[in-house]
């Protein structure tokens, strides 16, 4: 559907382009600063009662002396950078107010008013005379991108008025879905059974979170396609965990990744992140099939394919389907096939296995870096059970910061009692080595005082074959 005015059409095109370029740009890796030295807080001055404060102010012999140039600056209304400060702040506030009014209009379904208000807000930003070195420039850019997002959402809602039901995923039947059904019911059936059985650990909890967010409950089966419900699943693209987050997307959705933990591997924390991401993608594209495709490959790639069409958009996802990369295009019919089999296994001549029972555990807050096998022995549990409950711990050890550790039911108090007596563990640190001609794992291990087995383990090598130019991780401590 075209927008009403030529100007709005221009604004939408320009803003959407800016937004998608911005969303696809690589983000810099976060810089981890060393922990600051803990110092005792300075003592607070004695508090005064309201009456005492009033008396002191009224009878204070001191008088604040304001320099003449500062008085002159305040009277002129000119900021230190030479800008009319009031004009800049008020203009941004006016643009923000128009943006908020547009959101309210969009929420009540008044798209025309919403677009007009967004157009007005963007016009204010264009007229705003802010220099590139002004502290307000970031606020201006942020508002510009927010306006672009809202325009995209309105455009998606106009294109797809029948899919505004947030809880509806169309389970289409076509040749592509039929192919995936045949694959799951044939060569992939054993893996399907394993994934379905494993889903029992987390399914009930995930469904509860989906209901809270108002998302379709069928999305609980997405991890069968992504990871077969394996918390440690790692793809060729370095996507990790139940929901297969790549590093940057995980960071965008508050999944911590540091020396001790990688929360992409935590089934519960990554589920919360996946729900937020899916909500965003659905609001961005306006239908679930396109949102699921972009979950697999990123919204930027899907939008570029959409923009390459002769028409601004396609009537439905399946018109877009064959223009997407193979893995992404296949992702949606695979998900639909999974849901169809689980909904009606008898229709496809199969019997689903009994899922594992939901996980039950206690949580204890500790601040003691220790190996999980040591903690398990102290509480009379199996190390493998503790590792399974805490898959986000990268070295099967707790960090040296406060940490919520999951333990078998009833054993938390026993662990806390034994904790002060347990040895501390500091995980290894690594350097790197670039393989040169004539080197072998054995010669490299001897050079750095380690073993071939250690190099194989930390570099995920199944054998001893290495290639020239390959970069290996080398243990330097621990």
**E strand or H helix that includes residue 159:** helix 137-159
* Segment 382-385 long-range contacts (CB within 8 Å, at least 24 positions apart): none
Cα separation, 227 vs 140, in Å, equals 41
Q: Which residues pair with 366 in a beta bridge?
A: 403
Cα separation, 431 vs 392, in Å, equals 23
Cα separation, 381 vs 412, in Å, equals 11
What DSSP line would sit under 204-227, residue for residue? HHHHHHHHHHT--GGGGGHHHHHT
Scanning 25-128, the segments in alpha helix (DSSP H) are: 50-58, 68-76, 85-107, 111-127
Q: Which residues pair with 261 in a beta bridge?
A: 393
**Helix, coil or strand: residue 353:** coil
Contact 349, 380 (CB under 8 A): no
Q: CA–CA distance from 116 to each of 91, 121, 160 (Å)?
A: 17, 9, 20
* Segment 323-329 long-range contacts (CB within 8 Å, at least 24 positions apart): 324/293, 324/297, 325/297, 325/301, 327/296, 327/297, 328/293, 328/296, 328/297, 328/301, 328/302, 329/176, 329/293
List 226, 263, 299, 392, catalytic entry: 226
Is beta strand 429-434 parallel, antiparallel or unpaired with respect to 403-407?
unpaired
Q: Is 226 a catalytic residue?
A: yes
CA atoms within 13 A on the CB side of 476: 7
Count of C-beta atoms within a 10 Å radius of residue 89: 14
Cα separation, 294 vs 286, in Å, equals 12
Q: At what angle do helices 175-185 and 326-343 cross, to 10 degrees?
A: 70
**Burial of 337 from C-beta contacts in 10 A (0-12 / 13-18 / 19+):** buried
Enter the DSSP assignment of 465. -
Cα separation, 111 vs 441, in Å, equals 64
* Residues taking part in catalysis: 226
């Amino acid at each position: 559907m075209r927008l009403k005015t030529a100007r709005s059409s221009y604004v939408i095109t320009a803003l959407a382009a800016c937004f998608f370029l911005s969303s696809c740009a690589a983000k810099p890796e976060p810089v981890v600063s060393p922990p600051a030295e803990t110092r005792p807080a300075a003592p607070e001055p004695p508090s005064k009662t309201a009456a005492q404060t009033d008396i002191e102010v009224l009878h204070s012999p001191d008088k604040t002396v304001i320099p003449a140039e500062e008085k002159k600056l305040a009277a002129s209304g000119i900021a230190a950078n030479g800008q009319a400060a009031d004009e800049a702040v008020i203009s941004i506030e006016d643009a923000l107010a128009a943006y908020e009014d547009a959101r309210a209009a969009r929420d009540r379904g008044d798209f025309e008013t919403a677009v007009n208000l967004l157009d007005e807000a963007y016009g204010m930003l264009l007229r705003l005379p802010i220099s590139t070195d002004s502290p307000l420039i970031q606020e201006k850019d942020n508002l510009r991108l927010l306006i672009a997002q809202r325009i995209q959402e309105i455009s998606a809602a106009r294109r797809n008025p029948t899919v505004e039901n947030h809880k509806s995923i169309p389970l289409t039947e076509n040749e592509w879905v039929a192919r995936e059904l045949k694959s799951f019911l044939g060569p992939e059936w054993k893996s399907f059974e394993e994934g379905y059985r494993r889903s029992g650990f987390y399914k009930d909890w995930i469904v509860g979170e989906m209901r809270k967010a108002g998302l379709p409950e069928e999305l609980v089966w997405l991890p069968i396609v992504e990871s077969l419900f394996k918390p440690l699943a790692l793809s060729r693209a370095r996507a990790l965990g139940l929901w297969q987050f790549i590093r940057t997307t995980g960071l965008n959705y508050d999944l911590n990744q540091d020396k001790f933990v990688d929360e992409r591997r935590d089934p519960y924390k990554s589920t919360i992140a996946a729900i937020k991401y899916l909500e965003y993608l659905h609001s961005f594209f306006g239908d679930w099939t396109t949102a699921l495709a972009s979950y697999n490959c990123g919204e930027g790639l899907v939008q570029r394919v959409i923009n390459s069409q002769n028409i601004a958009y396609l009537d439905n996802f399946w018109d877009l389907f064959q223009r997407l990369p193979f893995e992404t295009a296949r992702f949606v019919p695979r998900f639909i096939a999974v849901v169809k089999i689980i909904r009606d296994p008898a229709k496809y001549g199969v019997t689903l296995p009994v899922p594992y029972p939901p996980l039950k555990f206690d949580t204890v807050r500790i601040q003691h870096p220790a190996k999980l096998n040591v903690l398990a022995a102290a509480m009379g549990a199996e190390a493998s059970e503790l590792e399974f409950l805490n898959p986000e711990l990268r070295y099967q050890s707790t960090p040296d910061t406060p940490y919520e550790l999951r333990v078998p039911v009833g054993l938390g108090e026993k662990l806390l009692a034994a904790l002060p007596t347990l040895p501390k563990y500091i995980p290894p640190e690594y350097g790197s080595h670039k393989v040169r001609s004539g080197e072998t794992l054995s010669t490299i291990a001897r050079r750095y005082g380690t073993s071939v087995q250690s190099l194989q383990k930390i570099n995920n090598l199944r054998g001893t074959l290495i290639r020239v130019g390959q970069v290996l991780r080398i243990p330097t401590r621990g």
